A and B are shown apart, each in its own frame.
Chain A
Amino acid sequence: MKTLSRIYTALVFMFLYAPIAVLLLYSFNSSTSTIVFNGFSLQWYKTLFADGSTLHALYNTLLLAVCSSVIATVLGTAASVGIEKLRKGALRSAITATTNIPMMNPEIVTGVSMMLLFVFIGRILRINAVLGFGTMLIAHITFNLPYVILTVLPKLRQTDKNLAEAAMDLGCKPGSAFFKVVLPAISPGIITGLIMAFTLSLDDFIISYFTSGPGFQTLPIVIFSMTKKRVKPDMYALSAIIFVSILILLILYNIAQVKSEEKSRKRH
């Protein structure tokens, strides 16, 4: 049974990593082929760093991810604090139901519906190219918000309500009681929400595809237009770099977590 489960797990992980292995291998291919491996070379990595447009798209992607995740986190945290204090009733359930919509709707419907809104407004205001950075930012904030709220709200529920009251009894104004007492208590939830929003935004293609214009293109959009014809291996090289950097970040994060656990174990 044990060997059987080992073989099974190995097969599942082989399936998950097969295309990634192919991609890593062909990023070192000496020809343009993504089918035949002709020999080892680093030329696609050189082409990648010489190609300004790809790097510009990467910059756009990071810019959008930072802006949308930060705004969504601030807006979402404020909303969570408000929702937590609201009495149970029509308003609260309406807010919860609305928050669930972007998560339940197929992404293509969310993208299309926002595109229709933007196009309609653009027609009324007579703006020719309404789709661009602004519309993408709005779209990304919108699909990030539910995830931020859903990670912050449980943390708020866990914190002791008396903490803020105690701070106010000790002379804090409600505002500073929030920033000095409640905010540190819920900060793990806020950080998780921020990271989640950032990665969602970084990775998003479908909603971006419908809300972006030719003036502002992110990496997934550039990759999509490339895969319509043929993908050059420099895209493989870029994906390989992204993959390796995420892998390193995750390993570092895991090591840090294990170390901090060991530390707290020693203290006890």
Chain B
Amino acid sequence: MSKYTEDDLKKELETQEYEYGFYTDIESDTFPKGLNEDIVRAISKKKNEPKWMTDWRLNAFRLWQEMEEPNWANVNYKKPDFQDIAYYSAPKAIDPNKTLDDVDSELLAMYKKLGISIDEQKKMNNIAMDIVVDSVSVATTFKKTLAEKGILFMPISEAIQEHPELVKKYIGTIVPQTDNFYAALNSAVFTDGSFCYIPKGVKCPMELSTYFRINEGGTGQFERTLLIADEGSYVSYLEGCTAPARDENQLHAAVVELIALDDAEIKYSTVQNWYPGDKEGKGGVFNFVTKRGICHTNSKISWTQVETGSAVTWKYPSCILKGNNSVGEFYSIAVTNNYQQADTGTKMIHLGKNTKSTIISKGISAGKSQNSYRGLVQIGSRAENARNFSQCDSLLMGNKCGAHTFPYIESKNKSAQIEHEATTSKIGEDQLFYCNQRGIDTEKAIALIVNGFSKEVLNKLPMEFAVEAQKLLEISLEGSVG
């Protein structure tokens, strides 16, 4: 064999396709493109929603019309044409009264391709799973097991029907309709998502998980997740996402709201692998997401995210540390390759006394991508003895990509302790040669080095996800040194 150069490797990998880029041909029920009050009403009607919900949506829509798309982020893209998107798409074969056994066999085959056979999920992993394809939640497993503990885990559309008091009480309280352009849009047109309520003192016995997939072309996905952990409860929640490879840009604008009441703990993990576009930067998902949680007294919210997909990511999972002694954590790995752009980070808003936050962000940039960390640590005037530790590390591959760090610190209390550390490093030829000399080829060596770099965050993921996340990191970065 002749010398296998990095150029060869690069060439080989450029032709490698996005592993989840298949499209499943299932009949679906899709609204015409465009957005107006009638569409909002139609979505609400389709979901058989009560009037308060319809009005809430319409109010959001009116607010949204007055708003402008934000452009302060360090990303460049052609703004989506909001009239060229279909706001509702549902796989037709789905009966709202389905049980798992009734799920369309093609859909099931699709989950198999995704590596998540529901049967297996049910039997082998202790994970209760909800799957949202395009706009509709397809199946929720383990519902009965959970119900015995009083845990509610269901599509949000169902929760609006069955537990309107809870939805009404909390929806939009953490991420108000007016929070930002995409949050307002989501509030008007969200089609599904997950709802979860953990009663007082209950430790959820299994990981709860939602799997999101955009299947139809020309559609956007707007899911809304609402998770309430009542006093003294605990829950660990995972979400994963993929989309087919398409030339067009698809829009994903989700809202996630977490409520941790006194002494509660929420662990929220995301593995985001939306289609990133091809190597020329064509296509890919615009991922504009608002995620925020509120911590009451002695409670804790921990966000862990592995972001490898999407053409453009705009996402800042945040914690409002309202209660005394509450704790917020943010662990993030963001990988960008080819022409991907990510502007992601967190906001830690310290309001209560003795509140603590930790931010560990690992950005990995390759190809011609741009990767930004943007974070805000804000200490309110009453937040005595608040503490924050932030660490932002960037790893660069090649010399055509960019890594940026935008840390904002605002402190109104003199007793606050805030630490910020940042490093930037590059995978060196000498590191690769060292690995090669020990018999580890370049591709494997990159995976090893990247996993080492990301270890502190990977360790925070539940086991089942950690393995998948590691594989994803390898896939997204193959052939990226040069």
Whether A and B are associated in the same complex: the answer reads no
**Chain B residues within CB distance 8 Å of chain A:** none
**Chain A residues within CB distance 8 Å of chain B:** none
